């Protein structure tokens, strides 16, 4: 494939995102331009298209081709108990408050293939909260939502997950939560009995329920400023009085327009509480 000139890419890329929005109602127009460019150029090579214009023409006329492109636009980078200190902070600083509620609703926004969701479910189970918690796991990509729903992960990742689990304050053996099968690990189905998996876009959709805790980690780093603000407003609207918000280690709300509506509970690990 001939090398695409940056000037041409900068013209074609917004047109592609506008076409995707008008044709399929997936709104990537407010995602970081740098992130979009990396992912689309990678997709060009993998999907054997000579230019973004060719890619646009195909997605406009071939819905199944757009489904393939979507997997490149929402490449997940995740693992169970990623940043174990974050989950340890949840156990020590958030869980004691969550235990005061008779029932809980928790929103995992941008859940991807489910690693964070199941990590949170394990924490809740060990703290005696899972049975009275309804979890909403949302993402814009139906394919990764289906993977999350199945809860099947490569066996070669289990050692890393187990190490993270112990560092996150795990109380038992990580092997208690999965069954090995061939080259995969199938997570205990009881972890997702109270999970509702749903297609939801932080760019276009609205709040659907009041929650006590919202977890959205390493998602907003791919958004531009305006979309970050929209997402934070959604989280603020969703949270009950004095509810909790967990973000990724490289995300913060200090310079946000809604930042003053939250207070830090654990600043290093980006855990906030609604004022």
Angle between helix axes 52-61 and 63-73 (nearest 10 degrees) is 130
**239-271, pLDDT tens digit by residue?**
999 999 999 998 989 889 999 999 999 999 999
Q: Residue 138's beta-bridge partner residues?
A: 109, 198
Q: What are the boundaries of each domain within the chain? A: 6-73, 84-274
Q: Are the C-beta atoms of 81 and 114 separated by less than 8 Å?
A: no
The pTM is what? 0.89
**124-144, pLDDT tens digit by residue?**
999 999 999 999 999 999 999
Is the domain defined by 84-274 classed in CATH 3.30.365.10? no
Chain centroid to CA 3: 32
Query: What pLDDT does residue 2 have?
Result: 45
- The CA angle 13-8-223, to the nearest 5 degrees, is 30
Nearest CA-CA partner of 16 in 38, 45, 36: 36
Q: Are the C-beta atoms of 202 and 231 separated by less than 8 Å?
A: yes
**194-209, pLDDT tens digit by residue?**
999 999 999 999 999 9
Task: Measure Cα distances from 256 to 200, 205, 260, 261, 263 in Å.
Answer: 23, 20, 8, 10, 12
Nearest CA-CA partner of 220 in 236, 206, 237, 232: 232
Nearest CA-CA partner of 196 in 136, 145, 117: 136
Q: What is the DSSP string of 19-80?
A: HHHHHH----TTB-HHHHHHHHHHHHHHHT-SSHHHHHHHHHH-HHHHHHHHHHHT-----T
208: which DSSP letter? -
**77-128, pLDDT tens digit by residue?**
789 999 999 999 999 999 999 999 999 999 999 999 999 999 999 999 999 9
């Amino acid at each position: 494939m001939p090398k695409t000139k940056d000037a041409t890419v900068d013209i074609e890329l917004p047109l592609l995102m506008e076409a995707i929005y008008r044709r399929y109602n997936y709104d990537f127009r407010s995602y970081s331009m740098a992130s979009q460019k990396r992912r689309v150029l990678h997709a060009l090579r993998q999907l054997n298209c000579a230019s973004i214009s060719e890619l646009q023409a195909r997605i406009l006329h071939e819905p199944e081709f757009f489904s393939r492109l979507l997997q490149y636009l929402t490449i997940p980078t995740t693992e169970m108990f990623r940043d174990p200190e974050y989950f340890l902070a949840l156990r020590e600083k958030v869980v004691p408050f969550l235990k005061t509620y008779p029932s809980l609703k928790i929103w995992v926004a941008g859940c991807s293939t489910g690693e964070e969701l199941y990590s949170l479910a394990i924490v809740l189970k060990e703290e005696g909260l899972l049975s009275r918690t309804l979890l909403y796991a949302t993402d814009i990509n139906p394919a990764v939502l289906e993977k999350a729903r199945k809860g099947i992960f490569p066996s070669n990742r289990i050692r890393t997950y187990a190490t993270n689990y112990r560092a996150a304050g795990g109380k038992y053996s990580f092997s208690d939560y999965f069954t090995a099968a061939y080259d995969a690990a199938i997570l205990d189905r009881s972890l997702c009995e109270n999970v509702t998996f749903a297609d939801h876009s932080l760019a276009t959709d609205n709040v659907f329920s009041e929650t006590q805790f919202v977890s959205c980690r390493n998602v907003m780093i791919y958004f531009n400023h305006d979309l970050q603000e929209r997402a934070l407003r959604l989280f603020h609207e969703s949270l009950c009085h004095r509810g909790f918000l967990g973000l990724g280690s490289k995300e913060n709300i200090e310079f946000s327009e809604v930042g003053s509506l939250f207070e830090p509970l654990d600043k290093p690990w980006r855990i906030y509480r609604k004022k």
